[in-house]
Structure formats: structure tokens, C-alpha cells
Structure 1
Amino acid sequence: MAQSSNPQFFTQEELNNLKSTYEVGGLEAVVSLIRKKLQELQNTELHIAVTGESGGGKSTFINTMRGLRRKDKGAAKTGTTETTMKPTPYPHPNMPTVCFWDLPGIGTTNFPAGAYLQEMNLNKYDFFIVISDCRFRENDASLAEAMKELGKKFYFVRSKIDNDLRALQMEDEEFNTDEELGKIRNDCVDNLEKAGISSADVFLISNFKLNEYDFPALKEALEDGLDDLKKHIFLLSLQNTTMEIIEKKRVHLLALIGIIAIISGIVGAVPVPGLSFSCDVKLLTYAIIHFRNHLGLDDASLQRLADTVGKPMGNLKAVAKSPFMGEINEQTVERMMVKATSYTIFTDVIRFIPIIGSIIGAISSAPTIINFLKDALNDLTENAKRVVQVAFGSH
């Protein structure tokens, strides 16, 4: 998975507005604009539709993307029969603004293709994932054409690839995995072309092998097809399965530090003894918990990962040794801040929002806030990587 480019949370127009507002009204004048952006990040919604013919593995895919198993609370219902009778939302357990929608299978007696396109309200979804466990057919192509007319992105996913390879291997002693994967991919592409979809990208996956076949490439493609705000929340919703995912999360969370420092430094009112600044300890406490949860180090995320890989949660938690893994409250954060006395602003934080770098520089407490949050983020990132090493090996 390629390294993430710097996230651009502010549009150029917003940056210009921040600059002019700051020049006219000073620090206090930009508070509401910065707060509004942070609130926008928290409230941005992403709606992902998963569709295809009945029985193709849609519900299992939705559970996998949310780090859940079939029997877990809130999991999508799976089965060999048609279990989804209407569009059903499944919010992410940690990020409810990211919602996967299990759409009824197209082309069944309950939902013939013609009626399907009218009843599913396709406009509401950000992009579509079309899943098949065999070959893509005319119904899949009809759905893709409808999405194309709406200007929606769509991705073809060939599921249960491990089952196919296992069956082929039992039949052929000279079985070659790469060669067989190429045949399956070409067959899917050929069938889509016959149905009128040219130059289609097909991702071959197993819902139970998260780091194999095309699953990592699919996640990267989904991420790359989104704007920066939605890319941010999609990335943070991903279960930690590789070092690359964790590093991308670190980069995106790092970009938030400058925003948090401005808000905390301007409007904070809780003095920290022994230091020459006031900061909003509540906001910093929120930030650390936010970092920890999205790096998969809260107990619920660790348990889901343990269930995914079939290992005891204690084995994963044992390698997460960090002062930020225990109870985090305003008192503990205040004590930690007393020790954070370095006053060198990190340029790799400021570079994410260069036009308002001068705003950060004008806040006397900003260097300490930035250093403190970056140290916390780096510490949690290293712990998240150790957890993944234990869970998956050296991915």
C-alpha cells in the first residue's frame, strides 16, 4: 500500500479566508472557523453501498470491513439464502458516520433488475462495490451502467477466491496460483466486456484473508477514489491489518494536531502549574483518546482484532506498553503536560496547513501542545505496529 500524501483538510478558499480573517481580527477571530472545520471532520458521512447477486458474500464483506464476525453484535446477517430484503445500514462500530449499506441482491425474483434500479435510491451512496462469487453477469453490468450515468464510482469484487483456488488445487497437482488467478481475473473482465463494461478493474479477494490476494489493493483503490475529508474518515475506519495502514493513519492524525493546538491555545482556560501557558485540557484529553481509538488500541478494537486472527486478546494487549494505554482523563493529561517543556514547533505539523502556520506561531503555548500531542501520537503508533506484528506477523 503506497504512502499517503499529505491530507488537505482545508480548501484553498478556506485557507485564504483564514488568512484574511486572521490579518483583520487576530487570533480570536479565527477560532470559530477552526472549530467549524474540526466539527466538519467529526460529522463527515460516508455511505458505501455493497451490492451484487444474492449469495455472493456481500454481508460477509461488510462484516470484514468493519472488523466483525457473523455472531458479533451489529454484524450483517449472512446466509446461503437471500437474507437482505431492503437496503440495510451497518455503521462502523468505532466511526458511526462511516456506514456500509447491504443492498438486496439484483436479479432475484424479489428484485428483478428493472425494478431494482428504481427502488434502491442509488444517489444517496458515495460509491458502490459490486460483489460476485463466480462471474459478473448482465445484471451486474446493468447496475454499473446506472451508476456510471449517476457519476458514481463502482468497484468489481470477485469474492471467495480462496475456495476456487482450493478446488482447483485438488484437481491439478501442477497447480500454479498466479496463473490461475490470472485466468479468473481475465474471465471476469471478459464477461464484463461482453455485457458492455470495458476497462473494468476486478479485485480478487477472500473475506477471510485480509492481507492476501487483492484485498490490500482494493482498500487502497477505495481510499484513492475519495476526496480528502471522506478519505480521512474511511482510512481511520479500517482495521489495522498492515503497517502501511497504521502509518497512513499516523499521517492523517498528525495533520489534526495543528488544528487542535490552535483551538486549545486560543480558548483554553485551565492553567497548568509551572508552565507559562493555558490550554484546554479537555480538548487534549479528547485528542489522545481519539488517537488511541483510531489506532485500534482501545479494548473493543483489540478484541475485534483478536477475534479476527483467532488469538487471545491478552497476547495483543501485552505488547502495547504505553503511558497512554491506561486511564486517560484531565488529571493524567495535566500531569503529563507539566513534563512537556520543549518549545520547538515541529515543521512537519505546520506544513499540513502552511497558510495558518503563522497563526500557530503566534500562540505562546502552541509548541508545547504540538510536541505533547505528536509524542503521544508517535508512541501510540509504535504500539499499534507491535500489536499488528503479533496479530499477523511481519506485514
Structure 2
Amino acid sequence: MGGASSRDQSAEASNTSLFSEDELKNLKSNFESGGVEKVTPLIQKKVNDLDNIELNIAVTGEAGTGKSSFINAMRGLQSEDKGAAKVDNKETTVEPTEYKHPSLPNVILWDLPGIGTVKFPANKYLKEMKFKKYDFFIIISHPRFTENDVKLAQEIKRLGKKFYFVRPKIDTDLDAVKRERREFKEEEELEKIRSYCITSLQEAGISSPQVFLISKFDLHLYDFDRLSKVLEDDLPSLKRSVYILALPNLTLEIVEKKKKELKKRVWMLASLSGVLGAVPVPGVSLGCDIGILIGGIVHFRKCLGLDDASLRRLAKKAGKPVEELKAVVKGPMVGEITPDIINRLAWGTSAVVISGLELALDLIPVVGSIFGAGSSLLMTYKLLSGALDDLTENARRVVKAAFGTDENDPK
């Protein structure tokens, strides 16, 4: 009994963390009083929220510190790509400039002018930049954090917002040290730089500053993974999900995180697909909304970086021919998703016996009850789960082909 209870709690956490405790109680209450039809609007609202929620990331710092390069790297772009932020050592930003994520346009990185310039003195900066609209702030500086950076952090803190100090170009700094010294230990040098930054900020009045050392060329190295984990912990659940899905596919760990987030959508989309506008697939007794099912698969593919534009960006980043990455992408999920493909998948799925025990272990009780309302929901759930598994495996192969290593393979 104890083991089953632990497994159920784990399943609840993994499948429903996009819902608050009150929302889950509301789902259960509505299902008990009105069945699947009554919970459908609640699930539809949550899906709409996920599709429409914005994540606004403010990136600020003085000219030449690497703001534009950071913004481009976070979107998987290089400086010469269409839509990339202009990389320049002169302060060219005269007002907040938005840069939307190329695949998820509801994720927006904002390039803010540097604080303390003639046009934006420190005492007017906050009002002009409309700080309240941003979810968190990245304060970028190189080679050291300045008095203006400290003032900015203090004002952000006063507003109750999160901020993080980023020191870019760390690979350049390390290369300079290597040329000067015969003996060089990278971890020791990184710790020296990190400690210097933290101590300087503490002496300037910032308590417990969070400093991250990154490279604009190799974003996945050094402190980027630590920065990403801190952001995930600090963001509320819905925005955390959006942030993870917007990350460039630099490591196998990122791919696994994306799969975990997308898995949370599977049962919601299956519920809607089994209830709304039931359109049967020709040749199979499967009541579902084909548009929702196909739309879900296309969304999974885009988030996992398997659309053509994403593959081209990753190939360019990795310095590989895009054909080399495309060559490892296999299966029906990566081409045009048609009712005929859904039909063939459904025939294969119909042979799978879906036991009540499997659902009890995989879904929380209220969701299990919803699925018990009709076999079409079970079928759609299996179709979406299978598609997500297939796409995730393709994304893994692409990352391995791009970077040629398994060292970041999650254990």
C-alpha cells in the first residue's frame, strides 16, 4: 500500500503541476457533479492559458557587455540570422526592444538601454523602462559589475522582482589566463572569477548576489545549466513550463525536460479530443477531434526543435550541414500529419490492451475517472503519448548528431 501511495503522489506531481490545488479540487467537484462535459471547459481554459501566457525577460547592461549576444543565444540564433539582435559595442538601444522567440512568440526577451546614460539617467530609468511588465531581469556586465548595475539591482529588488547577474565572455577570459600561465586549472580560475564578482557586489550592498559565468558561443558550458535551474525554481509553474520549452536544444537533459513538460499536456488534449466535435478517423471507431490531435503533435514537434527552421538554426549553431541532422530524423511524426497517418497509428494502438492498473499508476484519481468515461479518450491518450515518445527520441538523435557526444546524457 505504501509503495502504491508513493507512486500515485509521484504521478500526481508529474501530470498535474500545471494545475493549482484549488483547480484540481474544482476539476474533481465538476466531474462528480456533471461528468466529462462539465470539466471540459476547465481543461480548455488551462490549455488556452498555456498557449497564451507570456514570459517577458528583461536583459540590461552597459554597451559592449554582451546583451545582444545573450539574447540571440537564448533564442538559438546567431548574429547574422534573420531577426537576431544587432551585436555592437556602441549603445544602439534607445528604448526597450522586443525580440520574440522564433518558435514560441509568447516568449519575449527585451533589450533594455544601459542605465546611467545621458538619455537614461539612473533616477529616471525605472519609470522609462516600465519595470513591472517583466518577469525577471538579467543584468549583464563585463569585465566587472558597476555602480549602475548595483543601483539597478537594488531598484529591481524594491519592486519585488527577481534579478540575476551574468558575466558573459568567460571563455575569452579563460583563454587570456591560459596564455599568461604555464599551469592552468579551469575550475580554479572559474571559482576565482565567480568569488571576485560576488565579493564586489556584496561590498557594494547586494546581499547574497547570484552570479553566473557563461559563454556566448557555448551557452551550455560553465554556469548556464545552473542559471537555468535557478530560473526554473524561481518561476511559477505555468511560466516555468514556457521557459523550459523555449530553451534551445543544447543538451539531452534539456530534451528530457521538454518531454516532461509536454507530457503534462497529453491527458488534457486527450480529454478535449475525446469530447469536442468528435470526428471519427476513417476506418477506425475513434471518436476524437482530429484538429486537436494533429495540432498537439505539431506543437510537440515545434517545442522539441524538429521543425525545419529549428533544425537549420541548430545545424548552424553546431557547425554541421543541416542534412546531417535531418538524416537522423525518422518516422511518420516528422512529416505532414494527416488523418491517414492518424488512422495507421490508431490501428496499431487499438491492439494495445490498456489496463485500469496502468491508468491508476499513471494518472491521479480524478484524471483516471475522466478517462474512464470513454475508450476514445484512452485511445487518444495513447496516440499522443506514443507520438511524444517518438518525437523525443528523434530530438535526442538530433542533439547527438549536432554535438557528437553523450556526456550530457541524463542518468
Mapped pair 1:389 → 2:381: no
> What is the correspondence of 1:248-327 to structure 2 with a 5 Å cutoff?
248-327=257-336
- Identity among equivalent positions (%) equals 53
- Could you report, residue by residue, the CA deviation over 1:303-327 in whole angstroms, capped at 9, with x for unpaired residues? 0001111111011110111221111
The one-letter code sitting in structure 2 at the alignment partner of 1:63 is N
CA distance in 1 between partners of 2:288 and 2:150 (Å):
56
In structure 2, distance between residues paired with 1:69 and 1:264: 39
Kindly report the root-mean-square deviation, in angstroms, between the aligned alpha carbons of the 2 structures.
1.7
- Would the aligned equivalents of 1:50 and 1:103 in 2 still touch at CA under 8 Å? yes
Give, in whole Å, the separation in 2 of the partners of 1:112 and 1:268: 57
Q: Which residue of 2 is the match for residue 333 of structure 1?
A: 342
1:93 aligns with 2:102: yes
Which of these residues, 380, 384, 388, is aligned with residue 373 of structure 1?
A: 384
- Deviations along 1:146-194, one digit per CA (max 9) or x if unpaired, are 1111111111101111111111111111122122111111111111011
Q: 1:197 aligns with which of 187, 190, 206?
A: 206
Structure 2: segments with no counterpart, 5+ residues:
1-12
| CA distance 1:137–1:201, shift in 2 (3 Å) | same
Amino acid at match of 2:385: K
Q: CA deviation at 1:220?
A: 1.6
2:255 aligned with 1:243: no
Deviation at 1:34, TM superposition (A): 1.2
**Helix, strand or coil for the counterpart of 1:339?**
helix
1:127 and 1:271 mapped to 2: Cα distance?
Answer: 45
Asked if structure 1 preserves the Cα contact closer than 8 Å seen for 2:251 and 2:399, the reply is yes
Quote how far apart the aligned CAs of 1:348 are.
7.2
CA 348–359 in structure 1, closer or farther in 2 if over 3 Å, else same = closer
2:108 counterpart of 1:111: no
* Alignment map for 1:1-395 (pairs within 5 Å): 6=14, 8-341=17-350, 342-344=352-354, 347=358, 351=362, 353-392=364-403, 393-394=405-406, 395=408
Show CA shifts across 1:129-160 (max 9, x none): 10111111211111111111111111110111
More deviation, 359-368/192-201: 359-368
**CA distance 1:250–1:349, change in 2 (3 Å):** farther
TM-score after normalising by structure 2? 0.91
- Once residues 282 and 319 of structure 2 are traced to their aligned partners in structure 1, the CA distance between those partners, rounded to angstroms, is 47
Q: 1:369 to 1:289 in 2, by over 3 A?
A: same
CA shift at 1:330, angstroms? 2.9
Q: Deviations over 1:241-268 (max 9, x none)?
A: 1111111111111111110111111124
Q: 1:344 corresponds to which letter in structure 2? A: I
Partner SS state of residue 88, structure 2 = coil
CA distance in 2, matches of 1:133, 1:373: 46
- In the TM superposition, what is the alpha-carbon distance from 1:118 to its structure 2 partner? 2.5
Q: How high is the TM-score relative to the length of structure 1?
A: 0.95
Write the distance in 1 (CA, Å) between the matches of 2:384 and 2:314.
Answer: 26
Aligned-partner Cα distance in 2 for 1:118–1:349: 53
Whole-angstrom CA distance in 1 between matches of 2:238 and 2:326: 31
Is the 2:58–2:110 contact (alpha carbons within 8 Å) kept by the matching residues of 1?
Answer: yes
Structure 1 stretch 202-211 or stretch 102-111: which is displaced more? 102-111
Deviates more, 1:268-277 or 1:18-27: 268-277
